[in-house]
Chain A
Amino acid sequence: MRHRLLLPVLVGALLLTSPVRAVDAGPPGASSCTGCHAAKRIPDSVIPRIAGRKASDIVQFMREYRSGAWPSSVMGRIAKGFDDQQIDAIAAWFAAQPE
């Protein structure tokens, strides 16, 4: 009996992962980040992924990079190009991406 209930759920799941599903482009600035912070897992990369991280963590890092409170090589220079609102939007978008 059980499999009858399962079937529609499985079909639904397949549809969700089918290539027909569109992604959204994200707020201004977000798409540049994935050049380094990969959407997929990259073997041997020392650059942390941010997709699926908590938005509040991303916001805190970006603000601390920007102020210099948290030392960085390149992120401080990049964070200085974004205001609080832009950082919040980018963080929320990455938090919603699959981990």
Chain B
Amino acid sequence: MATRRTFLKLTAAASLAAPSIASAQASGRVVVVGGGFGGATAARTLKALEPKLTVTLVEPNPVFTACPFSNNVLAALREISQQQFGYDGVQKTGVLLAQTAATAVDASGKTVTLGDGSKLPYDRLVLSPGIDINWGALPGYDEAAAEKMPHAWKAGAQTVLLRQQLQAMDDGGLVVISSPANPFRCPPGPYERASLIAYWLKIWKPKSKLLILDSKDTFSKQRLFQNAWAQLYPGLIEWVSLSQGGKVTAVDPASLTVVTDFARHKAAVANIIPPQKAGTIAQKAGVADRTGWCPVEPVAFESTLQPAIHVLGDSAIMGGMPKSAFAANAQAKVCAAAIVELLAGRKPVDPILINTCYSLVSPDYGISVAGVYRPDKGVLADIPGAGGTSPLEVVGGFRGQEALYASSWFKTITTEVFG
């Protein structure tokens, strides 16, 4: 069977070179914008499923810096270089790399404009540009403010800056983390960050305190985090919820002051995780709605606003699925398979997707949340009875085991995406 299929593929590939069926080739151009967890996965999966497709990945950075495990970099448990991955592995699969930013999309003419002004035609376009900061949504917080009060919500220079600020801080200083309202990238991320900074403070600056000012009343894996904080870092972390006045309403970068309706907090280090939106190219392509995020149908993740444009990962509104690297990777594989079906004139079958997000409360204390999703009434919905968080009460080495699973997951997924 494999032999027969291989033969057919070879014939198809060989005949593509012949000018007589140039039209068959024309039906197979897919452009993918964004070489992160969603986009790089989509590009290489498309090529693996249908080698005769022409797949172009558009990404300006020669090296991708991964956010998962970047909180470990803040706590000096890892170096930023361990977060970085090039695109050689992706190119080896036959994906063409356009090392530039996409600057515009013409949805009716089906072209993507590149940094040099040239236009790349597509039959199907995949957008996985991640998040952009919603500058202007938080008074006082602009690009210049982010150099004083880093968000570190896109890993790289911002992560290194926040780590340097923590290292330079006097013992006894106040670290403030501002956590945004939903939806945002990586729902448990701010609390994992608080945990690992607390871990580091407890060792190196034990008189310091960490204050989380939150625009929400509940958060992901909340009881697991709070129980672990009480056990591992008693008195170190204080969480102020929305109803307790935690919502940050303005910041003053000059004095490192974080303002709520009830108080002004003078920070030694201020990590502002600001409101976010879909990557800017999504707005330019006309696939983002008034929320700033991109509505999609739940089978092939095609935009409900523009035909032939698929949106993945953090940018998309994915029903019950959180904005995670695991989810972006899972969505990308489903989307790639669906695009192959659509280009062949077939209807893609309803998918099932899984998400699993690990958080580290300390280097050897891991907790997780999982979910299983399927299309239901036009959205990706949680399958009832499945998923949930790690148990509150455990015996033996359960938390240590989950910490090991976390690092194994990171190695596996980064190998699948970039290896």
Residues of A within 8 A of B (CB): 12, 15-16, 19-25, 28-29, 31-40, 42-47, 73-74, 77-82, 86
Asked if B351 is an interface residue, CB under 8 A from chain A, the answer is: yes
- Closest 3 A-B residue pairs measured CB to CB? A81-B372, A81-B386, A25-B337
A38's closest neighbor in chain B, by CB? Answer: B412
**With the chains together, A37 CA to B374 CA distance in Å?**
21
In the complex the two chains form, is A15's CB within 8 Å of B6's CB? yes
Q: How far is the CA of A15 from the CA of B8 in the complex (A)?
A: 12
Q: Which residues of chain B come closer than 8 Å to A78, judged between CB atoms?
A: 354, 356, 370, 372, 386-387
Q: Smallest distance from the beta carbon of A90 to chain B beta carbons, Å?
A: 9
**B392 interface residue, CB < 8 Å from A?**
no
Instruction: Check B402 for interface membership: any CB of A closer than 8 A.
Output: yes
CB-defined A-B contacts under 8 Å, sample of 8: A24-B49, A28-B350, A31-B337, A32-B352, A35-B330, A35-B412, A73-B402, A78-B370
Query: Which residues from chain B contact A25 at a C-beta distance below 8 Å?
Result: 49, 333, 336-337, 340
The distance from the CB of A11 to the nearest CB of chain B, in whole angstroms, is 12
- Interchain CB contact (< 8 A) of B408 among A20, A40, A45, A80: A45
Partner of B356, one of A12, A36, A40: A36
A35 adjacent to B329 (CB under 8 Å): yes
With an 8 A cutoff between CB atoms, is B17 at the interface? no
Instruction: Flag if B416 contacts A73 (CB, 8 Å).
Output: no
Chain A residues within 8 Å of B383, by CB: 80-81
Q: Do the beta carbons of B370 and A77 come within 8 Å of each other?
A: yes
* Chain B neighbourhood of A44, CB < 8 A: 408, 411
Q: Are B370 and A36 in contact (CB under 8 A)?
A: no
A24–B337 Cα gap in the complex (Å)? 8
A33 vs B334: C-alpha distance when bound (angstroms): 12
How close is B366's CB to chain A, nearest CB, in angstroms? 9
* Complex Cα spacing A37 to B405, Å: 11
